[in-house]
């Protein structure tokens, strides 16, 4: 029960503290582009580990590369499964969206 309470407190504090930090970064650096880029990578890695059950269930076909390795991004695993033709329909849709934002994003993201 303590773990659940700590999880909820952390989740509730994350967004307001992030917004305050963005303001601080902009004031000190003039912009927050680097902050947002690094933050996106960090969230990507967090999601890969903490959402692994869901991601393995809905984004890949059986036998594909698995989500959940620390320090690997969701984008990297999507890239591996795209390369190996192991993306589910939903996985293909997510990869398409990411690749539309950044050309060949998933393939370029492959790390391991």
Per-residue model confidence (pLDDT) at position 95: 98
Query: Mean pLDDT across the chain, nearest whole number?
Result: 95
Q: Which residues pair with 67 in a beta bridge?
A: none
pLDDT in tens, 57-91: 999 999 999 999 999 999 999 999 999 999 999 99
Separation between Cα atoms, residue 98 and residue 112, nearest integer Å: 19
In contact, 33 and 25? CB cutoff 8 Å = no
The DSSP secondary-structure symbol of 66 reads: P
Mean pLDDT of 21-28: 94
Q: Output the CA–CA distances (angstroms, integers) from residue 31 to 18, 24, 27, 56, 68, in the order listed.
A: 15, 10, 8, 36, 32
Using N-to-C axis directions, what is the helix angle for 74-83 and 89-101, rounded to 10°?
Answer: 110
Boundaries of every domain in the chain:
32-108
Per-residue model confidence (pLDDT) at position 112: 64
Q: Output the CA–CA distances (angstroms, integers) from residue 76 to 20, 58, 83, in the order listed.
A: 30, 16, 11
pLDDT in tens, 46-57: 999 999 999 999
Q: For residue 67, how many C-alpha atoms fall within 13 Å in the half-sphere facing its CB?
A: 26
Mean pLDDT of 28-41: 90
Per-residue model confidence (pLDDT) at position 33: 87
* In the chain, % of residues over pLDDT 90: 92
């Amino acid at each position: 029960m303590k773990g659940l309470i700590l999880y909820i407190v952390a989740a509730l504090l994350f967004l307001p503290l992030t917004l305050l930090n963005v303001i601080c970064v902009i004031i000190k650096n003039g912009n927050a582009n680097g902050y947002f880029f690094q933050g996106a990578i960090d969230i990507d890695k967090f999601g890969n580990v903490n959402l692994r059950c869901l991601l393995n269930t809905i984004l890949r076909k059986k036998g594909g590369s698995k989500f959940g390795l620390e320090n690997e991004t969701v984008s990297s695993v999507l890239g591996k499964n795209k390369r190996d033709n192991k993306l589910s329909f939903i996985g293909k849709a997510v990869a398409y969206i990411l690749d539309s934002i950044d050309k060949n994003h998933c393939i370029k993201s492959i790390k391991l």
